Structure formats: structure tokens, C-alpha cells
Amino acid sequence: MDDPLAKLKNGTLKLYALEKELPPEEAVRVRRAYIEEETGADLAALGTFSIGIDRVVKRNIENMIGAVQVPVGVAGPLKVKGEYANGTYWIPLATTEGALVASANRGCSAITKAGGADVRIIKDGMTRAPVFAARDIVHAREIADWAAAHTADLAAAAEKTTARGKLLSITPYIVGTNVFLRCAYDTKDAMGMNMVTIATAEIADRVEAATGARLIALSGNMCTDKKPSAINMIEGRGKSVVAGVHLSNDLIETVLKTDAKTLAEVNYRKNLIGSVRAGALGFNAHAANIIAALYLACGQDAAHVVEGSSCITTIEATDDGAYVAVTLPAVQVGTVGGGTGIDTQAACLSLLGVAGGGEPEGANAKAFAEIVAAGVLAGELSLLGALAANHLARAHKELGRG
């Protein structure tokens, strides 16, 4: 073909259309060159990548000009006692925040020495909540009632669009003339946003046809996707997971350099009272850090870090130590689809033994969610421990013991 760069410049070729004219690597190279000329920036660094981009340009990105590289460290070994993840793991963390991996590592050490973290999934369902406009509030309730009365039919219609997804429930909410139908699905090993959107479109069609409701948007924000929300904190979205570990006084002293009472006090004053007065929807030290690093390493949707930050961390001093737990209402993860198939991300999933579809279906995504929760527990333990140790050190200094 003629020089594609020239064609981009003279407008006869659209930037997004390069892949139609050239092989992917070439298209990316030409596009990058074009942007370099347009902006005067040197983008060579973006051009060095090894991931197989045939798949990437079809599924993961448009207008590709290269790749950023994010360093990956490991923390571990982390002993996890879940129902799906049961063993000792090295967790991959992609981050540029110095000290994060080291901190997680110390938390893993505390957990593993304590015999491992118990983890349980307490709810599982990916949601989509279309919003419909009703003529008036009488019509609104009719729509909600109709959907409730036809859930089985709607489920059948929805499930025709997906090989694996199952509709679990439809919960209606009304605000004036607005009707929201929050549809929850078992999406097996997929995070499932696309699956549930497509399936819910079928439901929406039928609701419209039968009731005269006007579909305004397939996502009416009561899903809630990628926004912090009380509904996700209360009712969950994706997998609701809880992880906990009992630390003996001895272990708290030797590994965390503090004591149970101080650890509990830091959590109480910072994670509970501080977050309460801030009007927060997250009650933790830095759950989002661990979530972000794990999601990024493992090809998850980075915007789902939002939901991870709703974590509630609880610490209670017990007779012989402390019980530390994290409650994560909305862990939205998958081991198939999305970014999970990109070479480097797939490697991180394989490091955890959860790459691809599970056996039975859904087992890998559930195992991954359990590991995520245990990882967040490690991060919380470490940071709260450090704060408590620092507080204790100051207290001792004041008392002249230092």
C-alpha cells in the first residue's frame, strides 16, 4: 500500500482504521510514529513490548500505540484456607508505589505463621440494573410487579444469550417514575460484565414490550458499576468475601512489634471512627492498594478497584491475642475474558494456579477472589501493625522506657 503515515496526515486514512490496512504490529508502529510527529514526543519506550497483540487489538484496545510496563513483585508465601483456594501462594503485585510489596510481604508472613487466613465467599452474583421510565407511579409499580411475576420467563430469555451465566434474581426498586430492575447472575469464571449486559438487554426488551416501560439505559447505576455505593456495600456485587486470622500475642509481638490492644485501638480510632466522621464508604487502611496491585498484575479491570476500597477491616482483642478480619462486599474478578488472556497477565494468574476456566466452572474465579481477600488481609495487618508499633514506640519513649 501507499505510505500509510502520509495517508494519515492527508486525512485519507483514519487513525483507528490502520489495522484494516496493516498487520497489527505495523499498524501500532505507524500510529505511534504519527502521534510522535503530531506531538513531538518521543514514544519509543512504548514500542518495546512482547505481548501477542493480534488478540489484544481485537479484544482489549483500540488505537494502540504500544504498552506501558508495570513492575511486578511477589509477596508470600501466603497460606490461604478457603473453600476454593487452599494452600500456600505467592501473590503477584503490579505497582509503582515503593514499600507496598514489602508491606504486603510482612503481612503474609504474619498470616502464614499464624496458620493461614480463613476465607469464605458469602455471596456471589454479578449485577446489572437497567432503568426504565414509567408514565406515572401507578405504572411504575405495575412494571415492578410484572417483572416479579415473570422472573422465570425473563431468566429463560436472559440465559439464551449465554453459555454459562445463570440469572439468580431480579430485585425491583422504584423512585417516582423510575423503575430499576437489579438483575444478579452467576457468571462462573468470568467477571461477567459483558455477559450480564447482553443477558439483561433481553430482559429489558421483554419488560418494555409487555409493560410499555421505556428503557432509558441498560445500566441505571443501581448495579452499581465502578462507583462507590452503599448498595454494593450492603447487598454485595460480584463476590462478597470475608477473610480472617487469629494472631497470638506472641506473634503480634514478634512479627508486628506491637500488642493486641494497641492494634485494636488503631483500627478503632482510624478505620472506624475516622472513616465514620469522614462520611466514608470504606473502613480500612489501604485495601485499594492491594486490590489495585493484584488486579493490575492479573488482568482485571482496573476501574473495579473502586469497589475494593469498600472493605471493612475489623480487629478485636481476644483473651490470647487478636482476631483480624477484612470484609470485601464487592470483589469483581474473573479468570477468563477481559485482560486475563494477555501473556503477562496470564502468567500472573498461572502463578496463582487460577488461570482460565475452573473445574467445576467458577472455581477459579472463586479461588482468585479468596486469594484477593487474603492478600488484602495481609496488607491491612502490615500497615495497621506498623502504625501500632510506631504508636507503641512513642508511648514507650515518653515513658522513658525507650
396 is catalytic: yes
Residue 15 CA to residue 7 CA, distance in Å, equals: 10
Residue whose C-alpha cell reads 505481548 in the numeric block: 51
> For the chain, what's the residue count?
402
Binding mask 219-258 for a copy of itself (x = CB under 8 A): xxxx-xxxxxxxxxxxx------xxx-x------------
Say which residues have a Cβ less than 8 Å from residue 389's Cβ, sequence separation at least 6. 256, 257, 258
Using the rule CB under 8 A, which residue among 33, 61, 168, 210 binds a copy of itself? 61
Residue with cell 462520611: 279
Residue 48 amino acid letter: T
336 binds a copy of itself (CB under 8 A): no
Q: Which of residues 337-356 bind a copy of itself (CB under 8 A)?
A: 338-339, 342-348, 350-351, 353
53 binds a copy of itself (CB under 8 A): yes
Closest approach, Cβ 398 to a copy of itself, in A, equals: 8
Binder to a copy of itself among 154, 247, 296, 331 (CB under 8 A)?
296
Give the active site residue among 142, 186, 253, 301. Answer: 301
Q: How far is the CB of 2 from a copy of itself (least distance, A)?
A: 22
> Residue 325 and residue 245: Cα distance in Å, rounded?
6
42 binds a copy of itself (CB under 8 A): yes
84: cell is 476454593
Q: Which cell goes with 48? A: 518495546
Q: Is 145 marked active-site?
A: no
Q: b vs e for 367-382, b when ≥16 Cβ sit within 10 Å of the residue's Cβ?
A: bbbbbbbbbbbbbbbb
Angstrom distance (rounded) from CA 84 to CA 94: 24
176 scored as a contact of a copy of itself (CB under 8 A) = yes
Tell me the window of 3-11, 152-160, 162-170, 304-312 that interacts with a copy of itself (CB under 8 A). Answer: 304-312
Q: Which CB atom, from 131 or from 155, has the smaller least distance to a copy of itself?
A: 131
Contact 245, 377 (CB under 8 A): yes
One of 48, 152, 359, 400 touching a copy of itself (CB under 8 A) = 48
Q: What residues act catalytically?
A: 97, 301, 396
